[in-house]
Structure 1
Amino acid sequence: MARHGARTPFLLQLSLLLLLRPGGTLGCASVAVGSPVVPLGSAVTASCTIQSELCHGLEQGKVRITWMLDNEPVAGSQHRGPGDTEVSNLTLPQFNRTQAKLWCWVEWNGTKQRVGMAEIRAGYPPAKPFNLSCVLNLSDYGLTCQWEQGADSHLPTSVALKCAGSRAQAVTGCTPQGGRSHCTVPRRLLQLYRQMDIWVSATNALGTAESEHLCIDPMDVAKLDPPALQSIQSIPFQTDCVALAWEVARSNAHMELQCELRYRAPEDPAWAVVTGIIGQAGTTQHCGFLFGTQYHFQMRCRRSSARGYWSEWSLDRNYTTHEKAPTGKLDAWWSAWPDGAGGRLEVQLRWMAPQRQEANGRVLGYHVTLSPRRRGRNPPTVCNTTHTQCNFSAPAGTRRVYLSAYNAAGESAPTEVILLERKGQPLAGLWTVPGGERSLWVHWEAPPAPVAAYVLEWQRVSSEPGRCSACWQMERDGAATAALIRDGIEPFQRYNISVYPLYKDAIGVPVHAAAYSKQKAPSYAPKLHLKSISKSDAELCWDPVPVEMQNGFITSYTIFWANSTAEVSSAAVNPSLSSFVIRKLKPSTLYKVHIMASTAAGGTNGTSLTLVTMVLDDIEIQFLFLTLGLIFVLLILLLICFQKNGRVKQQFWPSVPDPANSSLGKWVPAELQQEPLQLPGMREPGLATISTVAVLERAAGKQPSAWAKEPAAETTGSFPTLPQPYVRQEAPGAPGRGWAAAEPCQGLGGSGETVQYAQVVGDGYKGQQQAPLRLYLRSSSTQPLLLDPSPSPKPYENLWFHGAAPHGCPGDGGCPEELPATFPLLQGLRIGGAEELHDCRAL
Structure 2
Amino acid sequence: MLRLFSTDDISVLAQNVLGTSESDTLCLDPMDAVKLEHPVISRVQGDSANSHCLIIHWALDINLGMMCELGYRARHGQAWRQVLVLVNDWLREQSLCQLSGGTEYRVRLRCTILGSMGHWSDWSPESSGQTSESPPVGIPDVWWHFENSDQDGKKYIRLFWKELKQSEVNGRIRGYRVSHRWEAQSSHTELTLCNTTNRTCRIPAPTGSGNICITAYNRAGESPAAELGLKTLHHRAFALLSPSVSITPINEHSLQIKWSAPRAPVTGYVVEWFEISEGVTCDINWKKESADSISSVLQENIKPMKRYAISIHPLHSKGLGIPVSTEAYSKQGAPLIGPEVSGDHIWESKAEVIWEEIPINKRQGFIRNYTIFYSDKTGPIRYIVSNALERRYTLTGLLADTDYQVQVMATTDAGGTNGSVMNLTTKKSEDGDMGTILASLCTLFLFLMSLQLLMCFIRRNVMTGNLWPKIPDPANSSLSSWIPETRHQDCKCSEGAPDSIVSSFTLLERGSDKNTAFAIKSMHLVGEEKMTSMNDDGKRPSDGECLHCLSETPACLVHTLYHNVSGGSQYASVLHYKGQKTPPPFFLRSDSTQALLHDLTPSPKPFENPWFSKSAENDSELSQDISLSDVIVGEEAIWKNFPLLWGLVSEHSGDTMVTPTASFH
Question: Normalising by the residue count of structure 1, what TM-score does the alignment of the two structures yield?
Answer: 0.45
Corresponding position: 1:273 with 2:87: no
Cα distance between partner residues in 1 of 2:355 and 2:118: 76
Is 1:444 the counterpart of 2:259 in the alignment? yes
1:400 matched residue in structure 2: 211
Structure 1 residue aligned with 2:576 = none
Provide the residue aligned with 1:262 in structure 2: 71
How big is each residue's C-alpha offset from its partner over 1:244-283, in whole Å with a ceiling of 9 and x where there is no partner? 34223x5xx4887654332222332x22221544466644
For 1:607, what is the secondary structure of its paired residue?
Answer: strand
| Structure 1 residues 472 and 453: alpha-carbon distance in aligned structure 2, compared to 1, 3 A threshold | farther
Task: Give the secondary structure class of the aligned counterpart of 2:269.
Answer: strand
Secondary structure in 2 aligned to 1:427? coil
Change in 2 beyond 3 A, CA 1:342/1:564: closer
- What are the within-5 Å matches in structure 2 for residues 255-404 of structure 1? 259-268=68-77, 270-278=78-86, 282-301=92-111, 311-336=121-146, 345-371=155-181, 379-398=190-209, 400-404=211-215
The answer to whether the 8 A contact 1:297-1:317 is kept is yes
Q: Percent identity?
A: 31
Q: Could you say which residue in structure 2 is the equivalent of 1:457?
A: 272
Q: Counterparts of 2:194 and 2:440 in 1: how far apart (Å)?
A: 81
d(CA) in 2 for partners of 1:192, 1:409: 68
Q: SS where residue 420 of structure 2 aligns? A: coil
Contact 2:54 2:130 in 1 (8 A): no
Question: Using a 3 Å threshold, how does the CA distance of structure 1 residues 552 and 338 change in structure 2: closer, same or farther?
Answer: closer
Quote how far apart the aligned CAs of 1:614 are. Answer: 2.6
Rounded Cα–Cα distance in structure 1 between residues aligned with 2:85 and 2:206? 62
Change (3 A) 1:334 1:578: same
- Of residues 279-288 and 535-544 in structure 1, the stretch that sits farther from structure 2 once superposed is 279-288
Q: Distance in 2 between matches of 1:463 and 1:445?
A: 32
The amino acid across from 1:509 in the alignment is I
**1:616 offset after TM fit, Å?**
2.6
2:331 is the counterpart of 1:514: no
Residue type at the aligned position of 1:551: Q
Shift of 1:325: 1.1
Provide the C-alpha distance between the structure 2 equivalents of 1:504 and 1:193, rounded to a whole number of angstroms: 82
Instruction: For residue 237 of structure 2, give the secondary structure of its aligned residue in structure 1.
Output: strand
2:168 match: secondary structure? helix
Letter in 2 for 1:370: H
Aligned mates of 1:235, 1:337 — CA distance in 2:
48
Decide whether the 8 Å contact of 1:345 with 1:395 is kept in 2.
no
1:416 lines up with 2:227 in the alignment: yes
List per-residue Cα deviations over 1:662-683 (Å, max 9, x = no partner): xxxxxxxxxxxxxxxxxxxxxx
Once superposed, what is the RMSD of the aligned Cα atoms? 4.4
Paired residues for 1:400-549 under 5 Å: 400-419=211-230, 420=232, 421-428=235-242, 429-462=244-277, 466-468=281-283, 471-549=284-362
State the SS of the aligned residue for 2:108: strand
Which of the residues 547, 552, 560 maps onto 2:365? 552
Change (3 A) 1:424 1:621: closer
Change in CA separation of 1:463 and 1:263 when aligned onto 2, cut-off 3 Å: farther
Q: Which residue of 1 aligns with 2:481?
A: none
The residue that corresponds to 1:152 in the other structure is none
CA contact (8 A) 1:452 1:476 kept: no
Structure 1 residues 379 and 627 mapped into 2: Cα distance closer, same or farther (>3 Å)? closer
CA pair 623-464 structure 1, distance change in 2 beyond 3 A: closer
Shift of 1:536: 2.3
In the TM superposition, what is the alpha-carbon distance from 1:500 to its structure 2 partner?
Answer: 0.4
- SS of 1:358's partner is helix
Q: Tell me: CA distance 1:553–1:387, structure 2 relative to 1, closer, same or farther (3 Å).
A: same
Higher strand share: 1
Relative distance call for 1:359 and 1:237 in structure 2 (3 A) is same
The offset of 1:299, in angstroms, is 2.2
Q: How far is the alpha carbon of 1:546 from its aligned partner? A: 0.3
Give the match's secondary structure for 2:167.
Answer: helix
User: 1:520-560 CA deviation, whole Å, 9 max, x = no partner?
Assistant: 11110011101112232211101100001101111211111
Letter in 1 for 2:127: R
Cα deviation digits, residues 81-129 of structure 1 (max 9, x gap): xxxxxxxxxxxxxxxxxxxxxxxxxxxxxxxxxxxxxxxxxxxxxxxxx
For the Cα contact (< 8 Å) 1:338–1:396, is it kept in 2? no
Q: Does the residue aligned with 2:406 lie in a helix, a strand or coil? A: strand
Alpha-carbon contact 1:235-1:241 (below 8 Å) kept:
yes
**Deviation per residue, 1:413-451 (Å, 9 max, x gap):** 332212422423332232323344333333322212232
3-state SS of the aligned residue for 1:557? strand
Give the Cα–Cα distance (whole angstroms) in 2 for the partners of residues 406 and 368 of structure 1. 11
Q: Structure 1: how far apart are the matches of 2:422 and 2:109? A: 72
Counterpart amino acid of 2:100? L
Q: 1:188-207 counterparts in 2 under 5 A?
A: 194=26
- The CA distance in 1 between the partners of 2:152 and 2:400, in whole Å, is 68
Give the 3 Å change call, closer, same or farther, for CA 330–167 of structure 1 in structure 2: closer
Measure, in 2, the Cα distance between the counterparts of 1:308 and 1:273: 23
The code of the aligned residue for 1:505 comes to K
Matched residues in 2 for 1:442 and 1:488: separation?
15
In the alignment, residue 437 of structure 1 is paired with which amino acid?
Answer: E
| SS state at 1:475 partner | strand
1:485 Cα deviation after fit: 3.1
Structure 1 residue 615, shift from structure 2 partner: 3.1
Q: Decide whether the 8 Å contact of 1:591 with 1:612 is kept in 2.
A: yes
In the alignment, which residue of structure 1 is the partner of 2:382? 569
**Does the C-alpha gap of structure 1 residues 291 and 255 become closer, same or farther in structure 2, counting only changes over 3 Å?**
same
CA contact (8 A) 2:347 2:432 kept: no
* Deviation of 1:320 (Å): 0.8
Over 3 Å counting, the alpha-carbon distance change for 1:623 and 1:394 in structure 2 is closer
Measured in 2, the distance between the counterparts of 1:289 and 1:236 equals 13
Structure 1 residue matching 2:317: 3-state secondary structure: coil
The C-alpha deviation readout for 1:579-606, integer Å capped at 9, x for no partner, is 1112222333332211111111221111
| Residues paired across the two proteins, number | 434
Q: Does 1:246 align with 2:58?
A: yes
Partner SS, residue 567 of structure 1? coil
Give the distance between the partners of 2:297 and 2:238, measured in 1 at CA.
Answer: 24
Please tell me whether the aligned partners of residues 69 and 110 of structure 2 are also in contact (alpha carbons under 8 angstroms). yes
Counterpart secondary structure, 2:128: strand
Q: Which amino acid aligns with 2:428?
A: V
Match 2:426 to one of 599, 613, 623? 613
Change (3 A) 1:220 1:548: farther
What do the CA deviations read for 1:714-773 (whole angstroms, capped 9, x no partner)?
A: xxxxxxxxxxxxxxxxxxxxxxxxxxxxxxxxxxxxxxxxxxxxxxxxxxxxxxx9xxxx
Q: Which structure has the higher relative contact order (CA within 8 Å, separation 6+)? A: 2
Is the alpha carbon distance of 1:267 and 1:169 closer, same or farther for their aligned partners in structure 2, counting shifts above 3 Å?
A: closer
Distance 1:565 1:449, change over 3 A: same
Q: How far does residue 473 in structure 1 lie from its aligned partner after superposition? A: 2.4
Relative to structure 1, the CA distance from residue 627 to residue 272 in structure 2 (aligned partners, 3 Å threshold; closer, same or farther) is closer
TM-score of the pair, normalised by structure 2: 0.57
Alignment-derived partner of residue 393 in structure 2: 580
**Structure 2 match to 1:161:** none
Q: Is the 2:183–2:209 contact (alpha carbons within 8 Å) kept by the matching residues of 1?
A: no
1:394 CA drift (Å): 4.3
* 1:693 equivalent in structure 2: none
